[in-house]
Amino acid sequence: MGKYDALAKDILANVGGKENVNSLTHCVTRLRFKLKDESKANTDVLKKMEGVVTVIQSGGQYQVVIGNHVPDVFAAVNAVGGFSSDSVVEADGNDVGLFAKFIDMISGIFAPTLGVLCATGMIKGLLALLAYFKVLDPTMGTYQIIAAIGDSLFYYFPVFLGFTAAKKFNVNQFVGMAIGASLVYPTIAGLSSGEALYTVFKGTFIESQVFTTFLNVPVILPMGGYASTVVPVILAVYLASKVEKIAKAIIPDVVKTFLVPMVTLLIVVPLTFIVVGPAASWLASLIGAGTTAAYNLSPIVAGIVIGGFWQVFVMFGLHWGLVPIALNNIALGGDAVVLPSMFAASFAQTAAVIAIAVRTKDRKVRSLSIPAIISGFFGVTEPAIYGFTLPRKKPFVITCLAAAVGGGIAGLLGAKSYILGGMGVFGFPSLISPKGDISGMIHILIAVVVASILSFVVVMMTYKEDGVDTHTSIQNNNAEPMLKKKVIGSPMKGEVLPLSQVADEAFSSGALGKGMAIKPSEGKVYAPADGTIVTFFPTGHAICIIADDGAEILIHVGMDTVKLDGKYFNPKAKEGDKVTKGQLLLEFDKNAIEEEGYSLVSPIIITNTNDYDDVIETDHKNIEVGSNLITLL
């Protein structure tokens, strides 16, 4: 019997049984159930259960707060309930837009590949380093075998993503893999290097060569084929989920095992080549023509557009529309359009991951960030994008904006690439002119430094741990054996309010930390925990306490009450005093302050919120002095 099996059985029984569970996910500290009927759950029993901190019902989720060993409890609940063993860490809330759902879907499909993605990225970076310093030569067998290891995941990405997308869309996983394998099938991949059968749409920006047909319908392949692409296979597997569902409804049970996959593949794969191929090729051509026009209008504008959207282009395989422009420009004496503009993008991504690694309290996230950072410096940004910035949404947007600034600087300074060089740090030599002029390299170095600093600083300022939406497998064998929690009592008696109702953005936005607000019913403030008063403002309106267990607590009586300059406030303790929980700290004339026109809604903030895995606020509407207001995990 497992360590948490008994707890898992009790939790499952008191959420209404496994038949009442629609889905189960987990975040850093909470089991997040979506129940068919929340009224069947025994909330009071769960709250009193040993091993459970509390229960929160919010946003359509029934959240059982466990603590930092929640992955192990999650695994136990899955085992007891017979649910899927896949663990998902979700963002708070259900009300998300289409774009957010799309990003969540994409990042969710990538998450299972993250470990290998980081590993192969590091191998590619190491190989580039060995080649640069002449330790290995590309003609050597050792180099080629290591290159095969490093390129394996990236080249056959559609196969891996076909598998994970199939799990996401509830399709036969081997059908998903077969779709991905079809896209990178060597014969198909080599078609575009042969002689074209004919050309369609001559004279237009979507002029395309046709190398093969399917039932006399032209098949237009994107330049470079489908190797390393992302979106085509995901769209194809999504289509397969619809086709497979119809096929299962029509085909007799006795032959479903082989006929359903057969019908699904015969419909989906040709449609992918016929529809997705042309769409990708034409969109890439449109982007290529648009960026050239932008450069002719203004190199700065072109740099901003290419730099800002480069990572998005790569995700969708649309960057191939810009490669011919770069190659043609290099042949004519140097490319000032594409390569310099996109150069800063990989460094902006890497800087964002460094910022996340610095800010996160999650040891698993920090450990995964190291290979992502290393591979990012060598220009391999897939681990950074799909493992870190894209799932968290805001950091990805920040990196795109930072890369746009870098691209704009490159355009402003007129930097050029003279060869199609290496990636990341190994791309700098491509910026040295044939005559030995290094000014272009210096210009790009400036763009990279500015973009990296901008990305790092903004992500550092805006990153919030509870905004993470990523996936992880249950591999935590070193979970905390005991639940560690710290309880902060209420320093006041009164009505409990969320911080969002405080009429001061510094508090309501959570910028100063998480917490609650109280509308006091009497004019007294008591110590919320044992600790030391480190600050007692002379005006008496605010008190800062460091609790003996390390919590940093700010009690701010009312809004703008500092303007009273101490009037109506009568301190009962002083700065530096050692206090005990429940000790009277302050008296104030509640009626007089309100008659002066001041709000007495008082925030109680945990200013070192980032030191904790989770901050749980009370769900009581009214509270007595000393009652549990905030629980820290």
Separation between Cα atoms, residue 327 and residue 335, nearest integer Å: 8
In DSSP terms, which residues pair with 516 in a beta bridge? 604
Q: Which residues contact 24 (CB under 8 A, 6 or more apart)?
A: 31, 32, 33, 34, 74, 77, 78, 81, 83
How many residues belong to the chain?
A: 633
H helix count then E strand count, the chain: 21, 22
- The torsion region of residue 116 among left (phi > 0), alpha (psi -120 to 50) and beta comes to alpha
Separation between Cα atoms, residue 368 and residue 630, nearest integer Å: 31
- Under DSSP, the state recorded for 547 is E
Q: Which residues contact 331 (CB under 8 A, 6 or more apart)?
A: none
Q: Are 395 and 385 in contact (CB under 8 A)?
A: no
Active-site residue, selected from the candidate residues 27, 118, 400, 544: 27
* Residue the block writes with tokens 């940004």: 381
- The torsion region of residue 416 among left (phi > 0), alpha (psi -120 to 50) and beta comes to beta
Of 308, 306, 337, give the one whose Cα is nearest residue 324: 337
- DSSP for 59-110, written as a single string: TTEEEEE--TTHHHHHHHHHHHHT-----B---S-S---HHHHHHHHHHHHH
- DSSP for 352-379, written as a single string: HHHHHHHH---HHHHHHHHHHHHHHHTT
Sign of CA dihedral 414, 418, 424, 426: negative
Secondary element (H or E) of residue 293? helix 277-297
Residue type, 61: Q
Burial of residue 250, with CB atoms counted within 10 A of its CB: 0-12 exposed, 13-18 middle, 19 or more buried: exposed
Separation between Cα atoms, residue 515 and residue 608, nearest integer Å: 11
Other Cβ atoms less than 10 A from the Cβ of 44: the count is 10
Separation between Cα atoms, residue 426 and residue 124, nearest integer Å: 12
| Paired tokens of 501 | 């109702």
Q: Which residues contact 561 (CB under 8 A, 6 or more apart)?
A: 539, 541, 569, 593, 598, 600
Separation between Cα atoms, residue 112 and residue 387, nearest integer Å: 9
Is 400 annotated as catalytic?
A: no
Which positions are annotated as active-site residues? Answer: 27
